[in-house]
A and B are shown apart, each in its own frame.
Chain A
Amino acid sequence: QQQVKQSPQSLIVQKGGISIINCAYENTAFDYFPWYQQFPGKGPALLIAIRPDVSEKKEGRFTISFNKSAKQFSLHIMDSQPGDSATYFCAATVGGGSNYKLTFGKGTLLTVNP
């Protein structure tokens, strides 16, 4: 059973545009929501993360919006650049004790055209 649903599967954006990737979760016990960025031939790398006590977190051109009541969160990439072309994964986890297990979405392949 997939616990984190990610959409769209792929996204094409023009340079300078806004890229938006959405994720929905089912487990209300999740308390940490990171986004990972993966370039071809590389491992995923942490991009930005949020906890459910805030509704938005911004780091440079990257923003996470979080809607706890709807159990949804999204990644916004402002002023998208060709260098942002990569696969993006949302993830979620239930913390506490020694549990650091992340559940990943299926990923979104972002292509930013020059």
Chain B
Amino acid sequence: DAGVIQSPRHEVTEMGQEVTLRCKPISGHNSLFWYRQTMMRGLELLIYFNNNVPIDDSGMPEDRFSAKMPNASFSTLKIQPSEPRDSAVYFCASRHRDRDYEQYFGPGTRLTVT
């Protein structure tokens, strides 16, 4: 089975540009999580969805960040406008309804904002 798929794997953009990160969860999983990883702050949960519905977005740093999950097989995390401090690795993870707290992470998108 394919794992969590994220695209792009690397993104370099200039400050002020819009960035869209994409995630395809594992088929059959009903929870999806977006994380940000930096050296300073470690792994931070940004937002998560259950059955395509946002449950907790308290980790979203500010209004420049938005996330959507239009269907069970696709989610996006958008940053508009992007800033240098948004540079980080962004992970998507998914969870199967019967597997309690086990989350499967994707390979991540390394974002660099210059």
Say yes or no: A95 contacts B50, CB within 8 Å: no
Scoring B residues 79 to 108 as 1 if CB is less than 8 Å from chain A, else 0, what string do you get?
Answer: 000000000000101010000111111111
Judging by beta carbons under 8 Å apart, are B105 and A45 in contact? yes
- The one of B31, B43, B45, B95 in contact with A44, judged by C-beta atoms closer than 8 angstroms, is B43
Quick check: is A78 within 8 A (CB to CB) of the other chain? no
Q: Which chain B residues lie closer than 8 Å to A93 at the CB level?
A: 101
Q: Is A104 an interface residue (CB 8 A)?
A: yes
Residues in A with CB closer than 8 Å to B100 are 32, 95, 100
B16 to chain A, nearest CB (A): 28
A residues 76-114 touching B (CB-CB < 8 Å): 89, 93, 95, 98-107
A92 (CB) vs chain B CBs: closest residue = B101
Indicate whether A49 reaches chain B with its CB closer than 8 angstroms: yes
Whether the Cβ atoms of A101 and B56 lie closer than 8 Å is: yes
Q: Mark B44-74, 1 if CB is under 8 A from A, else 0.
A: 0100101000011000000000000000000
Contact of A101 among B4, B48, B106 (CB under 8 A): B48
Q: How far is the CB of B110 from chain A (nearest CB, A)?
A: 9
Q: Identify B45's interface contact among A41, A42, A102, A107, CB under 8 A.
A: A102
* A43/B56 in contact, CB under 8 A: no
Task: Give which listed residue, A34, A43, A105, A106, contacts B93 with CB less than 8 A.
Answer: A43
Report B-chain residues with C-beta under 8 Å of the C-beta of A18.
none
Least Cβ distance of A79 to chain B in Å? 26
Q: Which of B56, B93, B100 neighbours the largest number of chain A CB atoms within 10 Å of its CB?
A: B100
A89/B107 in contact, CB under 8 A: no
Q: Which residues of B contact A107 (CB under 8 A)?
A: 42-43
Q: Kindly state the separation between the CA atoms of A95 and B42 in the bound complex, as whole angstroms.
A: 22
A95 touches B101 (CB 8 A): yes
Q: Decide yes or no whether A46 CB sits under 8 A from chain B.
A: yes
Can you show 28 pairs from A to B with CB atoms below 8 A apart? A32-B100, A32-B101, A41-B107, A42-B108, A43-B91, A43-B93, A43-B105, A43-B107, A43-B108, A44-B105, A45-B104, A45-B105, A46-B102, A49-B101, A49-B102, A89-B43, A95-B100, A100-B48, A100-B50, A101-B48, A102-B45, A102-B101, A102-B103, A103-B45, A104-B43, A105-B42, A107-B42, A107-B43
